Amino acid sequence: MHRLILSFCTLVIIIHSIYLDDLQATVIDLGIDVLVENHFHGLEGKKIGLITNLSAVNKNGISTLELFYHCPQVNLVAIFTPEYGLYCMGSDKQSTASYIDPYTNLPVYPLQGETVKPTDDMLANIDVLVFDLQDIGTRSFTFLSTMGLAMEAAGENGKEFYVLDRPNPLGGERVEGMPFNNSFRSFYNEWDIPYIHGMTPCEIAGMINGENWIFKKPKLTLVPMKNWQRHMLWKDTGLPWMPLSPYLTDEESPFYFAISSFLGLSPLLNNGIGTALPYKLVGAQKIDPFTFARNMNKRKIPFCYFRPVFYWPFFGKFQGKTLGGCQIHIQDFSKVKLVEIGLTLLQEMMTELNQDPLASLTAEQLEFFDRYCGTDEIRKELLSGKRVQAIMDNWIPYLENFKEKRKKYLLYPSD
């Protein structure tokens, strides 16, 4: 009987602990949750333009667009969408013309292509712009560029600007990678932040305003989250992950995007686009995957290993072609150095292919590669044969200076 009672008590404790874990994993209130909880305070009676897509949901999975559209005290008059469109499924070649959304009957203004910043005409009937998009923590992902340029447009037109905060999926402590070089400023690199910056949209918005990175600043209102902490990765939040594009399909995708997105800029390399594992594969024609993976594993990059693969993309520039390479496997997401992996993969590919992944770029491809990276340093130093560690060592002063500069804009504790 004693043993039976002990077993029962143990079972109760286990169930109780699981229940508590679930509670602890779902206590994050996003900016949109806080705004709703405060009954959209500050937005009453104002004509609102909402910068969002349908991946921006509250903690229960309801889209911000739905919440704004159905709220009686909110006067939503226009929708602005980032790269990949309202439904997050468009390509970068999709139409950029404005249209009427059949569900809300509201005008939709895509902020991509030739019009990445709201125009005066788009803002004429608006009192306040509200930004709610899930960023992925990597500078070259365009959502934070969209935010800052929209802030500038709001300032130029005398409009208010609200930012509803969301977690950085890579966490708030990781700061890595290529410095920003203003000579290579583009829609992929608008702000003076590292390639991996460890900040949330509200924090970046505060920094854009505070550092005077835009010509005209708006009246800015930040709506922070509740209970998010800097050490948290996405898996720690308990929040649902919604695909931000056809290629960012799960909560691990931002890590792999940071590693391999820039590798796909070389016409000789594939980074998994066109397969069921976008950003998790790296390959090329005429590559022996077993030799390549073995050489990568010999480099002993901590918390990561590489599995040899042959694969055949089903769309894109390598459609139907046999590629050899590796699948990237991250073993500890909180500790792995993402940029080191990406640079090492690129360097190894250049070794295997006689420098051609970078040496064979046309002038147009070369310019796009440098603008996407925010610097020409990577291309030039890899072509010169410089070691990856030596390249990264050059970035230490910039990264340390950035970490000091960002302190006054951080909204959340480290633990």
Residues 294 and 313 in one domain: yes
**Cα distances (Å, whole numbers) of residue 40 to 37, 46, 75:** 8, 11, 11
- The count of structural domains within the chain is 2
**Residue 213 placed within a domain:** yes
260 and 232 in a single domain? The answer is no
Residue range 313-362, pLDDT digits in tens: 999 999 999 999 999 999 999 999 999 999 999 999 999 999 999 999 99
Residues 109, 178 within the same domain:
yes
Instruction: With respect to residue 9, please indicate whether it lies within any of the assigned structural domains.
Output: no
Which pLDDT belongs to residue 18? 35
For 56-96, what is each residue's pLDDT tens digit? 999 999 999 999 999 998 999 999 999 999 998 875 445 67
Tokens of 358: 């970078």
In a shared domain, residues 161 and 63: yes
Tell me whether residue 8 is in a domain.
Answer: no
**Cα atoms found within 13 Å of the Cα of residue 144, Cβ hemisphere only:** 32
236 plus 264 within the same structural domain: no
229 and 259 belong to one structural domain: no
Ranges of beta strands (E only) in 257-320 are 281-284, 304-311
404 inside domain: no
Q: Which of 179, 207, 242 is the last residue of a domain?
A: 242
> 72 with 101, same domain?
yes
| Residues facing residue 109 across a β-bridge | 80
Amino acid 208 reads I
Q: Encode pLDDT of 360-376 as tens digits.
A: 999 999 999 999 999 99
pTM of the model: 0.92
H-run or E-run covering 370: helix 363-373
Cβ-based neighbour number of residue 73 at 10 Å: 10
What tokens appear for 383 in the block?
A: 């072509």
Give yes or no: residues 238 and 287 share one domain: no
Contact in structure between 66 and 86 (CB atoms under 8 Å): no
Domain span at residue 156? 31-242
* DSSP assignment of 125-164: T-SEEEE-----SBTTSTHHHHHHHHHHHHHHTT-EEEEE
Q: Domain for residue 374, yes or no?
A: yes
The type of residue at 314 is F
Neighbours of 375 (CB within 10 A): 21
Q: For residue 90, what are its two tokens?
A: 């468009």
The pLDDT mean for the chain works out to 92
Average pLDDT over residues 150-178: 98
